[in-house]
Amino acid sequence: MTAPAFLLEAAKDSLKHWHLEPAHIDAVSQSENIVYKVISTDGLAYALRLHRPGYHSLGELISEQVWIEALRKTGLNVPHSLRSHQGDYFVAVDCGDTIRYAGLIDWFDGLPLNEIPKHHQAPVNPLAYLGQTCARMHNQATQWQPPAEFERHEFNIEGFFGCKPFWGRFWEVPDLSETEKTKFLIIRDQLIALLTAYGQPENTYSMIHADMHEGNVMVSHNDFLLIDFDDAGFGWHQYDIAVALFNHAESNNYETLKDTLIRHYRQIRNLSDDDLALLPYFILIRALVNVSWLHLRPEHHQPGLIPTFISRALRIASKLKLIST
């Protein structure tokens, strides 16, 4: 993984495409992308992102911005991207051994919703906010016609369980024992059968955020910003809901938290009980894909984390009676 400091000069150089002269620039995060906070000489703040090479094509990155702009037009608080002086969302940056695409957005000065100190009361119930925002997003996505050149991946059966799933083949990671591999294959086959029977109904399959948890909601006083559309693609709405609930799924008050999210979701968008009944299976899918996501990104986890997710996936699958204990 290339260190942000090594790419600092390339990041600075890319700012000329926006006619920006940085007075100060610092790396603030590194996950799929490296993010720098840029303070311009006129005192304005921006976030400059150098995108992970090979994760998305230029066409896919542009399509991400096209959807974000469509969401903005419906009133959702999402990042505002600035086009370069040539009118482009992204510019190619020579990073030595690879090319990265750089994009610039307005800086939002706040904290992730899950990092608000416990002694400070959040300005909104996190699950209520996620439920309402998720519903508004799904309303937009199901009524929206993407342009002909729109390119994004799909979280369908192939995207989760096919030959080249978006987040990797979770049933083949080296951390699995032979017994666990066998169980993962059984789980995979049953999930394929379940989702094949369900299909891709127009009311529950569209563009989704796909990583909509409390860490991707920025808060400043009473302002909110939903960020990190890197994984956004076509998929089932229940997966968005599952991601929002995933970190709470084994907590003692899970049912209360789930009911809060679903109640606020249903204030804005209908979700039938039959559609909702699939939610536990999508929580299981989230646990499974986390296994391969972590395997492909060893720089992002501590020793023992993959076995933790393996055990969690097996527990969930056992409760759903997809495997025997």
* Torsion angle of the four alpha carbons 298, 299, 304, 310, in this order, in degrees rounded to the nearest 10: -50
Predicted pLDDT at 118: 59
Residue 119, pLDDT score: 47
Q: Which has the closest alpha carbon to 52: 86, 85, 95?
A: 95
| CA separation for the pair 135, 237 (Å, rounded) | 9
Q: Which residues contact 317 (CB under 8 A, 6 or more apart)?
A: 183, 187, 284, 323
Calpha distance 286→283 (Å, rounded): 5
Residues of the chain with CATH 3.30.200.20: 4-107
Please give the pLDDT value at position 124: 74
Whole-angstrom distance, CA of residue 265 vs CA of residue 130: 8
CATH-assigned architecture of domain 4-107: 2-Layer Sandwich (3.30)
Residue 138's identity, in one-letter code, is H
The segments of the chain whose pLDDT lies below 50 read 119
Which residues in the chain are classed under CATH 3.90.1200.10?
A: 113-319
H helical segments located in the chain: 8-14, 58-73, 126-143, 157-161, 178-198, 237-246, 254-266, 273-276, 279-296, 305-319
Residue 155's pLDDT is: 98
Give pLDDT, residue 250: 94
Write out the CATH class of domain 113-319: alpha beta
In 3D space, the residue among 173, 248, 174 whose CA is nearest the CA of residue 215 turns out to be: 248
